Chains A and B, each alone.
Chain A
């Protein structure tokens, strides 16, 4: 069991997962998003390679209206 903090909310997962699997889990596949893990950008090209471990803090962002 691992715990990840995603956009400030803790979530538990049965087994370690990679970033691509997390995106599928969050139903964000194909969406225009960007992801940061522990303060570092996770490039799209590395979504399938980067494994997430217990305690990782993720930020998942989109573009919204702003001035």
Chain B
């Protein structure tokens, strides 16, 4: 079985999905189901005080008994905010320690602040969190995060929510070649072919949210992404043919081609 193994646990799906930006929890649940994802990200936010006490809860739509929830630190710009958010997440999810760390550096681009990310990762790992870390596509940073003890490194393909696809496949290739832990593309995927390209490069998985949630038909796009990730993975494992400009080697036999006729047909 070709499983994705993260922190010792095997997953059959290599597509991880976010749960934000859907019109309601029903659509979220339908899209998650269509994606086949087993790991789904959630955000941690202040609850509404003194407002609708019977507000539906995300965890009722997507129960932790059915999915591996991956709490994130989206929106955190400092080490302290990120670390406190994940401590709250661990308490909220009954001691669950697998988390997605991201420390942002700029509200306009949502580009990660890798210096702060390193500091936060170090604290979290000391506190026995299993850290899947969002980072830039810098191979040295990816390696340092791995050496520090992160359980997966998740470089961006392009900026969060941009849908611009994989802008620097060469950097991703270097990160993949150097890594001994899973490498997942996180952020930037816009459509199915982007996910396939990531997997063909040798990524261990892809994490996405907006590409599905912002599609005109999110549930259908979730299904497309599931197939795209599977197709890319199989193509990677199969090993693609070498590229050449032209080959003079057609796929059909060069022998046994019927002969040219001397005469034209019956008149």
Contact = CB atoms under 8 A, between A and B. Distances in A.
B209 A34 contact: no
A60 interface: yes
B97 to A, nearest CB: 14
B91 A43 contact: yes
A43 B59 CA distance: 19
Given A6-B49, A32-B57, A66 B92 contact: no
Interface string A26-63: 11100111111001010110000000000000011111
Interface residues of A, number: 26
Interface stretch (B6-14, B18-26, B143-151, B177-185): B18-26
A35 to B, nearest CB: 8
Interface stretch (B66-74, B193-201, B233-241): B66-74
Given A41-B88, A67-B20, A67-B74, A62 B28 contact: no
Contacts of A34: 44, 88-89, 91-92
Contact of B47 (A36, A44, A61): A61
B128 to A, nearest CB: 14
B224 interface: no
Contacts of A12: none
